[in-house]
Amino acid sequence: MVRLDLSGKRALVTGGMNGIGRAIVATLREAGAEVFVADVEGDPPVDVTDETSMQAAFERAAPVDIVVANAGTVRFAPLDRTSPADWERVIAVNLTGTFNTLRLAAAHMKPRRKGAIVLTASTNSFDGEAELTAYNASKAGILGLLHTAAGELGPYGIRVNAVCPGLIRTRLTAGHFAQPQLLKDYFRHIPLGRGGEPEEVASAVVFLASPLASFITGAALLIDGGQMAAKFGTWSDDHARFVDDHWELI
């Protein structure tokens, strides 16, 4: 029987106070891991953009076996109205924050010759969704970090993988989920006909962090209900209806 047992493992999760991160924390704990949260809304607050704050978080979690770089933020604006300040903030949290987390994870794990790191990328790592210039660039950049880190850290027994969620119901996407017509159109392109829940991302993260994924490194796993596989649209009013935030066959 396949068992996911992380008892005795120590994990650090950035952005673990809300949404996807909170579900990752809960699922890691269910699997038996001891989990430390690094979040601006945590106690103590930890800012992934701040080196000193991050160093302290890693000291508290040491010796760390699992690191999840998940903290992220978003700003919506057309390209020509994206302010330099918004660009810098999104890049600072999503890309530099992931770099800071990854760099410290590597420094802590290399001497122990083991570890598993999971990064939260996005379908936006691949897609140019409108009004998300900085966000898309930050998430594409995370794949650059992923590939480089997987290559460098593999010889030290450290695996590095990423999850690429599609539209997941969190406060970050509350605006989307408040608009049924927008959801209806968005989910036309999703073979499973709906958005995702944070727990559905968390289970993939915990799998990638676990020994069940012992030969997986450098992978970017889409968790998007098939969105990226079937971009030309799956659902239409001819054969289906949209009820309670999901498409179903008539």
Ligand X SMILES: NC(=O)c1ccc[n+]([C@@H]2O[C@H](COP(=O)([O-])OP(=O)(O)OC[C@H]3O[C@@H](n4cnc5c(N)ncnc54)[C@H](O)[C@@H]3O)[C@@H](O)[C@H]2O)c1
Contacts to ligand X by CB under 6 A: 14-15, 17-21, 39-41, 46-49, 70-73, 93, 97, 120, 122, 165, 167-168, 170-173
Which residues partner with 120 through β-bridges? 163
Query: Which residue carries 């300040």 as its tokens?
Result: 85
Q: How far is the CB of 154 from ligand X (least distance, A)?
A: 24
C-beta of 27 vs 73, nearer to ligand X: 73
Q: How far is the CB of 87 from ligand X (least distance, A)?
A: 15
Contacts of 148 (CB under 8 A, 6+ apart): none
Q: For the chain, where are the alpha helices, taking DSSP H only? A: 19-30, 51-61, 84-90, 97-109, 133-153, 174-177, 180-187, 198-209
C-beta of 39 vs 65, nearer to ligand X: 39
Annotated catalytic sites, by residue?
A: 135
Q: How far is the CB of 28 from ligand X (least distance, A)?
A: 15
Q: For 67-158, where are the alpha helices, taking DSSP H only? A: 84-90, 97-109, 133-153
C-beta of 49 vs 212, nearer to ligand X: 49
C-beta of 20 vs 204, nearer to ligand X: 20
C-beta of 18 vs 110, nearer to ligand X: 18
Q: How far is the CB of 2 from ligand X (least distance, A)?
A: 27
Using only C-alpha atoms, the chain has a radius of gyration, in whole angstroms, of: 18
Q: Which of 94, 97, 115, 106 is nearest to 47 (CA)?
A: 97
Contacts of 182 (CB under 8 A, 6+ apart): 176
Q: How far is the CB of 48 from ligand X (least distance, A)?
A: 4
- For the four alpha carbons of 25, 29, 32 and 33, in that order, the dihedral sign comes to positive
If residue 93 lies in a helix (H) or strand (E), which one and from where to where? Answer: none
- Contact between 16 and 45 under an 8 Å Cβ cutoff? The reply is no
Three-class DSSP category at 130 = coil
